[in-house]
């Protein structure tokens, strides 16, 4: 049999006073005499009194919980962002409940529902790669439930978000390739409807243009964001009559898969093909060759997302600040020819 937690009533009864007096004393309300306050506090400590958050929540109509939906939990990128969110949430006395969509629209909808059922005060979401309709989010907006997007956003919705400048980053990668003598630069992209795919592609194209390179449609392949499809996409590139001398993957998962595939084809990195990834997973530095990658300020992204969330709670429905963070191209072995 579980013991009940100590309540205000328990304390009040034991001291023969009213509940309200106990409540006030514990909050240092000066209206309660000093000696009584002292006595009450003493007993509270002794009985290990902890305010019941359910009762408080009921009263104040708030659960102090934020729902977070990520495509998956096991990717360093997301867990790192979550760490950042957690930090800011904690500072504000909030808790985070995590749900993963597993990159499935269906599971994403389900997660939204589940989190709503548990009365989270709002949601911070990175949409799944399948997500191409947004009714489940529109419903949130209609009901004035705070919503923040990060990384992958539904651009048609007026919602605060934190993203990175993917176009700029992709442009820089392209230029980096060019400056290192590459002329047949390929890009493995993700689903077209994702903002991240779109922007990085734009940057890629812009980069080509600035470098005076022609866009060769064969060098742009699109695939879902998993290792299998990435391997397939890479194979497609390696089977071209004119194979690329540089490949840029929309994220590191893609880049690692490409790396494996390139090695399998007995091609050398970076000698035959230069390779660059995106998001800078932790293991970029342990693969061989070490992977040049566009680093994301993940911790900061998480913190910003949480900050936006709290601002959204405060300012209400019309708040839709878009935070765009800069990335950083960290050059390692995979993209620069050894001298």
**How many whole angstroms separate alpha carbon 155 and alpha carbon 40?**
54
> Which residue number, 35 or 214, has a Cβ lying nearer to DNA?
35
Contact 184, 243 (CB under 8 A): yes
| Stretch of residues binding a copy of itself (CB under 8 A), selected from 18-26, 91-99, 237-245, 328-336 | 91-99
Q: Note whether 317 binds DNA by CB under 7 A.
A: no
Distance CA 73, CA 75 (A): 6
Strand 292-295 and strand 328-330: the pairing is antiparallel
Query: Is the backbone of residue 43 left (phi > 0), alpha (psi -120 to 50) or beta?
Result: alpha
> Of residues 183-242, which lie at the interface with DNA (CB under 7 A)?
none
Q: Tell me the sheet residues that pair with 66.
A: 96, 122
Q: From its phi and psi, is residue 150 left (phi > 0), alpha (psi between -120 and 50) or beta?
A: beta
- Inter-residue contact 211 to 311 (CB < 8 Å): no
Q: How far is the CB of 16 from a copy of itself (least distance, A)?
A: 25
Query: Of 28, 31, 34, 61, which one interacts with a copy of itself (CB under 8 A)?
Result: 61
Minimum distance of DNA from residue 146's CB (angstroms): 18
* Helix or strand run (H / E) with residue 96: strand 95-100
331 forms part of the interface with a copy of itself (CB under 8 A)? no
Of 13, 38, 56, 209, the one binding DNA (CB under 7 A) is 56
Residue (35 or 135) nearer to DNA, CB: 35
In this chain, which of 27, 38, 90, 209 binds a copy of itself, going by CB under 8 A? 90
**CB-nearer residue toward DNA: 37 or 279:** 37
Q: Which option in a copy of itself, DNA, none does residue 161 bind, with CB closer than 5 to 8 A by kind?
A: none
Q: Does 26 participate in binding DNA (rule CB under 7 A)? A: yes
Residue 66: which of 80, 49, 48, 84 has the closest Cα?
84
Q: Which stretch of DSSP H or E encloses residue 279?
A: strand 274-279
282 lines the binding site for a copy of itself (CB under 8 A): yes
Q: Which parts of this chain interact with DNA (CB under 7 A)?
A: 4-5, 7-9, 16-21, 23-24, 26-27, 31-33, 36, 49-52, 54-56, 58-59, 61
């Amino acid at each position: 049999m579980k013991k009940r937690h100590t309540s205000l009533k328990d304390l009040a009864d034991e001291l023969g006073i009213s509940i309200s007096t106990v409540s006030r004393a514990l909050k240092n309300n000066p209206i309660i005499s000093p000696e009584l306050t002292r006595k009450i506090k003493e007993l509270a400590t002794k009985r290990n009194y902890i305010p019941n958050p359910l009762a408080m929540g009921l009263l104040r109509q708030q659960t102090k919980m934020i729902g977070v939906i990520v495509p998956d939990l096991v990717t360093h990128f997301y867990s790192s962002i979550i760490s950042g969110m957690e930090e800011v949430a904690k500072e504000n006395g909030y808790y985070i409940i995590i749900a993963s969509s597993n990159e499935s629209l269906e599971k994403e909808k389900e997660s939204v529902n589940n989190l709503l059922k548990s009365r989270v005060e709002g949601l911070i979401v990175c949409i799944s790669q399948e997500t191409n309709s947004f009714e489940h989010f529109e419903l949130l907006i209609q009901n004035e439930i705070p919503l923040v997007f990060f990384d992958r956003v539904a651009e048609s919705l007026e919602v605060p978000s934190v993203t990175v400048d993917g176009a700029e980053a992709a442009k820089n990668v392209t230029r980096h390739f060019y400056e290192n003598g590459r002329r047949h630069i390929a890009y493995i992209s993700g689903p077209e409807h994702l903002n991240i795919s779109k922007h990085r592609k734009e940057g890629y194209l812009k980069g080509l243009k600035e470098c005076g390179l022609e866009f060769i449609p064969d060098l742009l392949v699109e695939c879902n964001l998993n290792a299998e499809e990435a391997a397939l996409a890479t194979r497609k590139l390696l089977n071209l009559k004119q194979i690329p001398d540089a490949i840029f993957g929309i994220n590191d998962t893609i880049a690692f898969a490409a790396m494996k595939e390139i090695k399998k084809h007995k091609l050398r990195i970076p000698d035959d093909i230069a390779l660059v990834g995106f998001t800078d997973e932790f293991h970029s530095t342990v693969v061989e060759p070490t992977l040049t990658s566009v680093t994301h300020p993940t911790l900061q992204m998480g913190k910003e997302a949480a900050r936006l969330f709290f601002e959204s709670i405060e300012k209400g429905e019309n708040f839709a600040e878009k935070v765009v963070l800069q990335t950083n191209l960290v050059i390692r072995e995979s993209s620069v020819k050894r001298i």
